[in-house]
């Protein structure tokens, strides 16, 4: 068996509908592998034909499909349409996934921003609370001091009233005190 060189299609033989599929195949996203040729014959061949692509062209299954009749051509056309539909769907799914990831990233950034704003607000409220607590502690100290002062003043007032009452009794008695009257006034 003679070794035949692989021939690439010329520009006139190239199927323009396979350009997107060939591009995706070259970058590893297509239905064909990156090393498989994207000629119209290999694009319309079934997956089992890809394994027999090393056979000479006279034994190629895709060559026999074109001579098999209109049913085979319709089947090839249906298969090609199905592959294109799957390829469009795959591209659409990838684009949808990309949009979903971008939406998720935007949402995550919004949540991070909101969390940062809430943390800043929390720090502000904590500072305000600390200030309010310090003012409350000062007010409690002032209240305690004022209560102590009020108690001292109440005791002095009581002592002053008693002293005044004793003077009035002393003045009314004409200068002499009965010890029992004095004891009853002090009680």
* Residue-wise pLDDT tens digits, 25-46: 666 665 544 444 444 444 444 4
Task: Calculate mean pLDDT across residues 150-175.
Answer: 86
Q: What is the pLDDT of residue 34?
A: 46
- How far apart (Å, rounded) are the C-alpha atoms in residues 61 and 42? 10
Q: pLDDT over 90 for what percent of the chain?
A: 44
| Mean pLDDT value across the chain | 75
- Report how far apart, in Å, the C-alpha atoms of 35 and of each of 22, 51, 118, 125, 184 are: 11, 13, 55, 64, 124
- 123 has pLDDT over 60: yes
The pLDDT, as a whole number, for residue 163 is 84
Tell whether the model's pLDDT for residue 138 goes beyond 60: yes
Question: For residue 174, what pLDDT band results from cuts at 50, 70 and 90?
Answer: confident
pLDDT per residue as tens digits for the range 47-96: 444 444 444 444 444 444 445 678 888 889 999 999 999 999 999 999 99
SS3 79: helix
Distance of alpha carbon 75 from alpha carbon 57, whole angstroms: 21
In 3-state terms, what secondary structure has residue 77? helix
Q: Residues 126-135: what's their mean pLDDT?
A: 97
Domain map of the chain by residue range? 16-109
């Amino acid at each position: 068996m003679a070794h035949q060189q692989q021939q690439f299609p010329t520009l006139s033989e190239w199927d323009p509908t396979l350009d997107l599929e060939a591009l995706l195949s070259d970058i590893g996203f297509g239905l064909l592998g990156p090393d498989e040729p994207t000629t119209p014959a290999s694009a319309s061949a079934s997956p089992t034909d890809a394994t027999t692509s090393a056979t000479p062209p006279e034994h190629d299954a895709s060559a026999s499909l074109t001579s098999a009749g209109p049913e085979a051509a319709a089947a090839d056309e249906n298969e090609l349409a199905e592959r294109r539909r799957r390829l469009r769907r795959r591209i659409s799914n990838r684009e949808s996934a990309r949009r979903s990831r971008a939406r998720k990233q935007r949402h995550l950034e919004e949540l991070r921003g909101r969390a940062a704003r809430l943390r800043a607000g929390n720090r502000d409220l904590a500072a305000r609370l600390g200030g309010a607590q310090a003012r409350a502690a000062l007010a409690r100290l002032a209240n305690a001091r004022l209560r102590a002062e009020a108690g001292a003043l109440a005791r002095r007032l009581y002592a002053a009233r008693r002293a005044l009452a004793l003077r009035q009794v002393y003045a009314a008695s004409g200068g002499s005190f009965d010890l029992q009257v004095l004891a009853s006034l002090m009680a």
